[in-house]
Protein backbone atom coordinates (compact mmCIF):
# COMPACT_ATOMS: atom_id res chain seq x y z
CA UNK A 1 0.00 0.00 0.00
CA UNK A 2 2.79 2.38 0.95
CA UNK A 3 4.56 1.61 -2.31
CA UNK A 4 1.41 2.34 -4.30
CA UNK A 5 1.04 5.73 -2.56
CA UNK A 6 4.66 6.57 -3.36
CA UNK A 7 4.11 5.62 -7.02
CA UNK A 8 1.02 7.86 -7.18
CA UNK A 9 2.93 10.77 -5.62
CA UNK A 10 5.77 10.25 -8.10
CA UNK A 11 3.33 10.22 -11.04
CA UNK A 12 1.60 13.37 -9.75
CA UNK A 13 4.90 15.23 -9.41
CA UNK A 14 6.03 14.02 -12.84
CA UNK A 15 2.85 15.27 -14.49
CA UNK A 16 3.10 18.58 -12.61
CA UNK A 17 6.71 18.99 -13.78
CA UNK A 18 5.75 18.24 -17.39
CA UNK A 19 2.98 20.82 -17.25
CA UNK A 20 5.29 23.48 -15.79
CA UNK A 21 7.87 22.71 -18.48
CA UNK A 22 5.21 23.12 -21.17
CA UNK A 23 4.10 26.49 -19.76
CA UNK A 24 7.45 28.17 -20.33
CA UNK A 25 6.56 30.55 -23.15
CA UNK A 26 4.88 33.88 -22.71
CA UNK A 27 4.91 37.66 -22.96
CA UNK A 28 6.22 40.51 -20.81
CA UNK A 29 3.41 43.04 -20.75
CA UNK A 30 2.51 46.18 -18.75
CA UNK A 31 0.51 45.46 -15.60
CA UNK A 32 -1.84 48.30 -16.52
CA UNK A 33 -1.77 48.35 -20.27
CA UNK A 34 -3.15 51.48 -21.92
CA UNK A 35 -5.11 50.69 -25.07
CA UNK A 36 -3.86 52.41 -28.22
CA UNK A 37 -0.48 53.33 -26.72
CA UNK A 38 1.62 55.72 -28.78
CA UNK A 39 4.72 53.64 -28.09
CA UNK A 40 5.78 50.94 -30.52
CA UNK A 41 7.76 48.93 -27.97
CA UNK A 42 6.06 48.47 -24.60
CA UNK A 43 9.03 48.52 -22.23
CA UNK A 44 9.88 50.48 -19.07
CA UNK A 45 11.67 53.74 -19.81
CA UNK A 46 14.97 52.51 -18.40
CA UNK A 47 14.66 49.03 -19.88
CA UNK A 48 15.52 45.70 -18.22
CA UNK A 49 18.84 44.56 -16.80
CA UNK A 50 20.18 41.47 -18.60
CA UNK A 51 22.17 38.65 -16.97
CA UNK A 52 24.21 35.79 -18.43
CA UNK A 53 22.28 33.20 -16.38
CA UNK A 54 19.85 33.05 -13.45
CA UNK A 55 21.56 34.76 -10.50
CA UNK A 56 24.51 35.37 -12.79
CA UNK A 57 26.50 38.42 -13.86
CA UNK A 58 25.03 41.57 -15.34
CA UNK A 59 25.92 41.76 -19.04
CA UNK A 60 23.91 44.77 -20.19
CA UNK A 61 20.42 46.16 -20.65
CA UNK A 62 17.58 45.98 -23.15
CA UNK A 63 16.34 49.47 -23.81
CA UNK A 64 15.21 52.08 -26.30
CA UNK A 65 15.87 54.91 -23.87
CA UNK A 66 19.41 56.17 -24.33
CA UNK A 67 21.09 59.38 -25.45
CA UNK A 68 19.79 60.89 -28.71
CA UNK A 69 17.38 58.01 -29.32
CA UNK A 70 14.67 59.45 -31.55
CA UNK A 71 13.67 56.44 -33.61
CA UNK A 72 11.50 53.45 -32.78
CA UNK A 73 14.29 50.89 -32.46
CA UNK A 74 15.24 48.65 -29.59
CA UNK A 75 18.68 47.47 -28.57
CA UNK A 76 20.75 45.30 -26.29
CA UNK A 77 23.47 47.51 -24.82
CA UNK A 78 26.33 45.53 -23.28
CA UNK A 79 28.58 46.57 -20.38
CA UNK A 80 30.99 48.25 -22.80
CA UNK A 81 28.23 50.49 -24.08
CA UNK A 82 28.13 48.70 -27.44
CA UNK A 83 24.70 48.70 -29.05
CA UNK A 84 23.29 45.60 -30.76
CA UNK A 85 20.12 45.99 -32.81
CA UNK A 86 17.36 43.55 -31.93
CA UNK A 87 15.07 41.95 -34.48
CA UNK A 88 11.29 42.08 -34.13
CA UNK A 89 11.29 38.28 -34.06
CA UNK A 90 11.92 38.57 -30.30
CA UNK A 91 8.70 40.54 -29.87
CA UNK A 92 4.99 39.91 -30.32
CA UNK A 93 2.52 42.45 -31.68
CA UNK A 94 -0.42 42.48 -29.26
CA UNK A 95 -2.15 45.62 -30.54
CA UNK A 96 -1.97 48.05 -33.42
CA UNK A 97 1.81 48.60 -33.64
CA UNK A 98 2.32 47.58 -30.01
CA UNK A 99 5.18 45.13 -29.51
CA UNK A 100 6.05 43.30 -26.29
CA UNK A 101 9.03 41.17 -25.40
CA UNK A 102 8.61 37.38 -25.57
CA UNK A 103 10.18 34.97 -23.11
CA UNK A 104 10.66 31.26 -23.67
CA UNK A 105 11.95 29.85 -20.40
CA UNK A 106 11.44 30.47 -16.65
CA UNK A 107 13.98 29.40 -14.03
CA UNK A 108 14.67 30.44 -10.45
CA UNK A 109 12.87 33.76 -10.74
CA UNK A 110 14.39 34.64 -14.12
CA UNK A 111 13.01 34.79 -17.67
CA UNK A 112 15.05 33.77 -20.69
CA UNK A 113 14.64 36.06 -23.70
CA UNK A 114 15.97 36.63 -27.22
CA UNK A 115 17.70 33.76 -29.03
CA UNK A 116 19.00 30.38 -27.90
CA UNK A 117 22.56 30.94 -29.10
CA UNK A 118 23.42 33.10 -26.11
CA UNK A 119 22.24 33.38 -22.53
CA UNK A 120 20.02 36.42 -21.94
CA UNK A 121 18.01 36.46 -18.71
CA UNK A 122 16.00 39.14 -16.89
CA UNK A 123 14.74 39.10 -13.30
CA UNK A 124 11.04 38.53 -12.72
CA UNK A 125 11.28 40.74 -9.63
CA UNK A 126 12.59 43.64 -11.75
CA UNK A 127 9.81 43.06 -14.26
CA UNK A 128 7.25 43.31 -11.45
CA UNK A 129 8.91 46.31 -9.80
CA UNK A 130 8.73 48.20 -13.10
CA UNK A 131 4.97 47.56 -13.36
CA UNK A 132 5.22 44.80 -15.94
CA UNK A 133 4.31 41.13 -15.65
CA UNK A 134 5.24 37.81 -17.20
CA UNK A 135 2.11 36.26 -18.67
CA UNK A 136 1.87 32.70 -19.97
CA UNK A 137 0.28 32.53 -23.40
CA UNK A 138 -2.88 30.83 -22.11
CA UNK A 139 -3.58 33.59 -19.59
CA UNK A 140 -2.84 36.30 -22.13
CA UNK A 141 -5.23 34.75 -24.66
CA UNK A 142 -7.96 34.29 -22.05
CA UNK A 143 -8.15 38.03 -21.48
CA UNK A 144 -7.44 39.10 -25.05
CA UNK A 145 -9.94 41.57 -26.46
CA UNK A 146 -9.70 40.14 -29.97
CA UNK A 147 -11.20 36.97 -31.45
CA UNK A 148 -8.63 34.42 -32.59
CA UNK A 149 -8.32 31.61 -35.08
CA UNK A 150 -6.69 28.20 -35.56
CA UNK A 151 -3.26 28.08 -37.17
CA UNK A 152 -2.70 25.74 -40.12
CA UNK A 153 -3.47 22.87 -40.56
CA UNK A 154 -6.38 23.47 -38.16
CA UNK A 155 -7.54 22.58 -34.66
CA UNK A 156 -9.89 19.79 -33.69
CA UNK A 157 -12.75 20.66 -31.36
CA UNK A 158 -13.38 17.91 -28.81
CA UNK A 159 -15.86 17.03 -26.08
CA UNK A 160 -13.18 17.11 -23.38
CA UNK A 161 -9.63 18.30 -22.71
CA UNK A 162 -7.64 15.33 -23.99
CA UNK A 163 -6.50 13.95 -27.32
CA UNK A 164 -8.69 10.83 -26.97
CA UNK A 165 -11.94 12.74 -26.45
CA UNK A 166 -14.54 12.69 -29.22
CA UNK A 167 -13.84 15.12 -32.07
CA UNK A 168 -16.89 16.84 -33.54
CA UNK A 169 -15.50 19.75 -35.58
CA UNK A 170 -12.25 21.12 -37.04
CA UNK A 171 -11.39 24.82 -37.08
CA UNK A 172 -9.67 25.61 -40.36
CA UNK A 173 -10.04 29.26 -41.34
CA UNK A 174 -10.87 32.72 -40.05
CA UNK A 175 -14.53 31.97 -40.77
CA UNK A 176 -14.26 29.77 -37.69
CA UNK A 177 -13.87 32.39 -34.95
CA UNK A 178 -12.94 31.69 -31.33
CA UNK A 179 -14.70 34.39 -29.37
CA UNK A 180 -14.03 33.47 -25.75
CA UNK A 181 -12.07 31.14 -23.50
CA UNK A 182 -14.45 29.66 -20.95
CA UNK A 183 -12.04 27.42 -19.05
CA UNK A 184 -8.35 26.46 -19.08
CA UNK A 185 -6.94 23.00 -18.41
CA UNK A 186 -3.16 22.73 -18.84
CA UNK A 187 -2.56 23.07 -22.62
CA UNK A 188 -6.27 22.92 -23.39
CA UNK A 189 -9.07 25.45 -23.39
CA UNK A 190 -12.83 25.23 -23.54
CA UNK A 191 -13.89 27.94 -25.98
CA UNK A 192 -16.91 29.56 -27.59
CA UNK A 193 -16.93 29.43 -31.40
CA UNK A 194 -18.86 31.25 -34.10
CA UNK A 195 -19.03 30.01 -37.71
CA UNK A 196 -19.52 32.74 -40.30
CA UNK A 197 -20.58 32.77 -43.96
CA UNK A 198 -18.26 35.73 -44.63
CA UNK A 199 -15.61 37.15 -42.35
CA UNK A 200 -17.16 40.03 -40.35
CA UNK A 201 -14.48 42.44 -41.59
CA UNK A 202 -15.60 41.83 -45.18
CA UNK A 203 -19.34 41.39 -44.77
CA UNK A 204 -22.22 43.85 -45.07
CA UNK A 205 -24.56 41.32 -43.47
CA UNK A 206 -25.81 41.74 -39.94
CA UNK A 207 -24.20 39.40 -37.43
CA UNK A 208 -27.44 37.44 -37.17
CA UNK A 209 -27.58 36.97 -40.96
CA UNK A 210 -23.89 36.12 -41.19
CA UNK A 211 -23.62 33.48 -38.45
CA UNK A 212 -24.08 29.87 -39.52
CA UNK A 213 -23.76 28.43 -36.03
CA UNK A 214 -22.40 28.81 -32.49
CA UNK A 215 -21.12 26.16 -30.10
CA UNK A 216 -18.48 25.44 -27.50
CA UNK A 217 -15.85 22.73 -27.13
CA UNK A 218 -12.27 21.94 -26.15
CA UNK A 219 -9.22 22.77 -28.28
CA UNK A 220 -5.52 22.26 -27.67
CA UNK A 221 -4.77 25.96 -27.22
CA UNK A 222 -1.01 25.54 -26.77
CA UNK A 223 1.41 23.13 -28.39
CA UNK A 224 3.69 20.90 -26.35
CA UNK A 225 6.28 23.69 -26.03
CA UNK A 226 3.68 26.10 -24.66
CA UNK A 227 3.34 28.23 -27.80
CA UNK A 228 -0.13 29.10 -29.12
CA UNK A 229 -1.87 27.02 -31.76
CA UNK A 230 -3.94 30.11 -32.60
CA UNK A 231 -3.40 33.58 -34.04
CA UNK A 232 -5.24 36.88 -33.90
CA UNK A 233 -5.41 40.08 -35.94
CA UNK A 234 -3.61 42.56 -33.69
CA UNK A 235 -4.57 45.49 -35.92
CA UNK A 236 -8.23 44.57 -36.20
CA UNK A 237 -9.99 44.52 -39.55
End-to-end CA distance of the chain: 60
Predicted confidence (pLDDT) at residue 72 exceeds the cutoff of 80: no
pTM above 0.85, yes or no: no
pLDDT: which is higher, 149 or 1:
149
Residue 19 has pLDDT above 70, yes or no: no
pLDDT in tens, 81-98: 998 889 899 999 998 888
* Chosen domain end from 136, 161, 192: 136
Considering the domain architecture, whether residues 200 and 114 belong to the same structural domain is answered as no
Residues 131 and 159 in one domain: no
Whether 36 shows a pLDDT value over 80: the answer reads: no
Name 44's Cβ contacts closer than 8 Å, sequence gap at least 6.
130, 131, 132
Mean pLDDT for the chain?
86
Domain membership of residue 12 (yes or no) is: no
pLDDT confidence of residue 229:
98
Q: Is 39 inside a domain boundary?
A: yes
CB atoms within 10 A of CB 157: 23
Whether 46 and 129 share a structural domain: yes
Instruction: Give the highest mean pLDDT range of 17-31, 52-66, 147-161.
Output: 147-161
Q: Residue 65's pLDDT is what? A: 57
CATH number at residue 176: 2.30.30
pLDDT in tens, 172-219: 999 999 999 999 999 999 999 999 999 999 999 999 999 999 999 999
Can you give the residue range of the structural domain that contains 124? 23-136
Res 109: pLDDT: 96
Contact (Cβ atoms closer than 8 angstroms) between residue 190 and residue 182: yes
Distance, in Å, from the CA atom of 106 to the CA atom of 120, rounded to the nearest integer, reads 12
Q: What is the band of 15 on the pLDDT scale with cuts at 50, 70, 90?
A: very low
Last residue of a domain, one of 101, 136, 171: 136
Q: For 51-67, what is each residue's pLDDT tens digit?
A: 999 999 999 999 875 45
Residue 75, pLDDT score: 87
Using alpha carbons only, how large is the chain's radius of gyration in Å?
A: 21
Q: How many domains are there within the chain?
A: 2
Amino acid sequence: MKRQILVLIFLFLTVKLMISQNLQNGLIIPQNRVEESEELYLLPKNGFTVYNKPNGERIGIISRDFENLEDEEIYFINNKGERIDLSNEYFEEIGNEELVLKYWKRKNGFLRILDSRNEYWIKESEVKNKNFKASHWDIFLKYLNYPFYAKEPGLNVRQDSNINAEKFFTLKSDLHEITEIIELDKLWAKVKIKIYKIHPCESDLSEEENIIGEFSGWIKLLDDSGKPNVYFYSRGC
